[in-house]
Structures are given as structure tokens and as C-alpha cells.
Amino acid sequence: MILSSEYKNLSVDSLPLKMFKRKLNELSRHEAQSVTEALKGMLIRANQEQFDQYFKNGITRSESVLRILRLILVRGMGI
């Protein structure tokens, strides 16, 4: 998964461009939540097949996102 290639999609996911010009600690709680949800959406799109498999097995969206993140971390560590 390459997040940088999805950066354009992230800014189109209803997030104003001005958000990307500020530091994370300068964002309001609502803006931070919007960024978090957009990042989750990117993660799901980049791993759609795996997400669909989890979802079909009755796993919630949040748990599916966490499992995908764990898989990425494990792959990144070469475990």
C-alpha cells in the first residue's frame, strides 16, 4: 500500500486543502475526525479485497481497519 499515491484522493474526500497546510495539533476536533475518517477510507480502498473479506465474515468496519493496519505493520517488519 502506497499512501502517497492516494494523497490526491484524500484531499478530494471532502477535506479542504487548507487542512493540509496546518499542523495536526492546530486542527479542531471535528477537522481531526474528518482527517481520520478520510485516512480510514484510503486504507479501505487500498485494501478493498481484504476489507470485503473481513466484512463478509461479520467483522465491523472499525475492527476490519485495525486488522488491515496490523497486517501492514507485520508485513513492514518482515515477520
Is the same domain home to 26 and 62?
A: no
Q: Which residue has the higher pLDDT, 79 or 78?
A: 78
Distance CA 71, CA 73 (A): 5
Domain coverage including residue 20: 1-46
- Give the pLDDT confidence of 9-45 residue by residue, as tens digits: 554 455 666 666 667 677 788 877 888 888 888 888 9
Q: Taking the complete model, does pTM exceed 0.75, yes or no?
A: no
Residue 7 pLDDT greater than 50, yes or no: no
Is the same domain home to 55 and 42?
A: no
pLDDT at 11: 45
22: left (phi over 0), alpha (psi -120 to 50) or beta: beta
The SS3 of residue 30 is helix
Is the same domain home to 64 and 40?
A: no
* Number of structural domains found in the chain: 2
| Cα 62 to Cα 17, 43, 48, distances in angstroms | 26, 12, 14
Is the same domain home to 71 and 37?
A: no
